[in-house]
Amino acid sequence: MSVEPAVRASAEEQRTRRPGGSGGRETWASLRPLVMRLHFYAGVLIAPFLLVAAMTGLLYAGSYQAEKIVYADELRVPVGTSELPISQQVSAARQAHPEGAISAIRPSPEDGATTRVLLSGVKGVDEGHTLAVFVDPYTGDIAGALEQYGSTGALPLRTWIDEFHRDLHLGETGRLYSELAASWMWVIAAGGLILWFGRRRARRKVRGTTGRRRTLSLHGTVGAWAAVGLFFLSATGLTWSTYAGQNVSDLREAINQSTPTVSAGLASGGEHAEHTQSGGSGGTPAEDVGLDAVLDAARGVRLSNPVEIVPPADASSAYVVSQIQRSWPEKQDAVAIDPATGEVTDVVRFADYPLLAKLSRWGIDAHTGVLFGLANQLVLAALTGGVILLILLGYRMWWRRGRGSAFGRPMPRGAWQKVPPHVLVPLMAGVAVVGYFVPLLGIPLALFVAVDVLLGEISYRRGRRTYAPAD
């Protein structure tokens, strides 16, 4: 994410015309001004968005541990001798909070952890969120009630930070900032990495120096070490973005790599579909085997903790019991259970997921810091801290440069003409394809090119430098 401007045209021409230079060296000499210019523009103009994303991401990396401390009273209880049946725990929650409808139940996943009964349609709870009632699984006492969001069970603190990172609390419009950052992070990282490897000899010469050159050396070294992590954050961030994420989903669906879901529908609407009673999230059969039998049936087909039970949506639907462990090893199996008979009607195993569905699940969970627990969160904190350092170093170089225009020297006119056709044509085709699938990369890139051409034309007309005709 360097913000170093392009070097002078004469220097580039000398490199290109170096006697005895190999074809690869000449190709690099022709591409270097383009890479440097793109790296510079993106560094100056996109870095503020990256800085916000990195700072909020750093907060999010620490939110899991903070949540355990802030909500310890709701999350943990003294370990008892035996747990109450899950139906009694739910009854205790409903007696304390009769409002809304039960949308899901998360039985205590381990000794000393509370059971969560999730209620939807509760007044005062944001749309898309639920009210989580925390029940002591040993006594049935209510440990508290908090608003919850998302499949990871984020409570108010983590929810606030998550939404701040995702959209700055601006809704769908705000999500464009995070998608813009994710769209450009890999481009900036790749450009910086290419320039870093291209400067290996120069780096050896600046050892022991001070000032801007030392800053440049440190910037390049930190960027090279962080590059793999930045590529990962960019790719996984794009998978659930608004525009690029939808394109990824469409592509996965087209090649049969979508995440499978368990079928909750009952054949012929279920034996007792005409007899319904109130409660739950919809209508459930009057002859319901009950939550305890449903949980036992799920255990019988190897669904171990942690699990979530979703009541039938209507009289023709089954219970859905899903494993919700997002840490390694992942537990994402799911089953559907007939409420009238307690029989398993459908099973989906994580082991049978398509490859891209597994990679997407692992990638998102690693991006959000849950795949490898605390170690994962520490790595994320180090990566986001590295991004912040890179941006600050880049702006420091730009500030200390102290000459030329604020946007640096325009790319020498005709630089595209120096790129060999066998390199330029595939490069342009690749850029077009990527820009189409990642629109918040393609659109700003087109604007960058237009601005650079305009700056070059202005500079040319002022007589500051003689340019060849623009490509």
Categorize the per-residue pLDDT at 468 as very low, low, confident or very high, splitting at 50, 70 and 90: very low
**Shared domain check, 271 and 235:** no
To the nearest whole percent, how much of the chain has pLDDT over 90? 65
**Shared domain check, 136 and 105:** yes
Rg of the chain taking only CA atoms, in angstroms? 28
- CATH, residue 142: 3.10.450.40
**Shared domain check, 187 and 41:** yes
Residue for token pair 């929810």: 159
**Shared domain check, 18 and 50:** yes
State the Cα–Cα distance between residues 407 and 410, nearest whole angstrom. 8
Instruction: Specify the pTM.
Output: 0.84
Look at residue 4 and tell me if it is in a domain.
no
Look at residue 261 and tell me if it is in a domain.
no
Given a cut of 50, whether residue 128 has pLDDT beyond it is yes
State the Cα–Cα distance between residues 230 and 221, nearest whole angstrom. 14
Say if residues 323 and 329 touch (Cβ distance below 8 Å).
Answer: no
Q: What's the domain range around 118?
A: 72-154
Chain segment 306-348, per-residue pLDDT in tens = 999 999 999 999 999 999 999 999 999 999 999 999 999 999 9
Residue for token pair 């007309």: 461
State the Cα–Cα distance between residues 402 and 280, nearest whole angstrom. 67
Chain segment 174-223, per-residue pLDDT in tens = 999 999 999 999 999 999 998 888 776 555 554 555 677 888 889 999 99
**Of 229 and 413, the one with more pLDDT:** 229
**DSSP β-bridge partners for residue 50:** none
Mean pLDDT score, 350-365: 96
Q: What is the mean pLDDT of the chain?
A: 85
Residue for token pair 């801007």: 212
Report the greatest alpha carbon distance in the chain: 89
**Shared domain check, 109 and 245:** no
According to the model, what pLDDT value does residue 411 have?
A: 55
Look at residue 359 and tell me if it is in a domain.
no
**Shared domain check, 288 and 341:** yes
Instruction: Select from 298, 317, 352 the last residue of a domain.
Output: 352
Both structure tokens of 236: 């996984």
State the Cα–Cα distance between residues 452 and 444, nearest whole angstrom. 12
Given a cut of 60, whether residue 69 has pLDDT beyond it is yes
**Shared domain check, 428 and 300:** no
Residue for token pair 């021409």: 13
According to the model, what pLDDT value does residue 427 have?
A: 85
Say if residues 137 and 85 touch (Cβ distance below 8 Å).
Answer: no
Instruction: Select from 154, 186, 203 the last residue of a domain.
Output: 154
Both structure tokens of 122: 């509760």
**Shared domain check, 189 and 40:** yes
Chain segment 221-273, per-residue pLDDT in tens = 999 999 999 999 999 999 989 999 999 999 999 999 999 999 999 875 544 44
Total domains in the chain come to 3
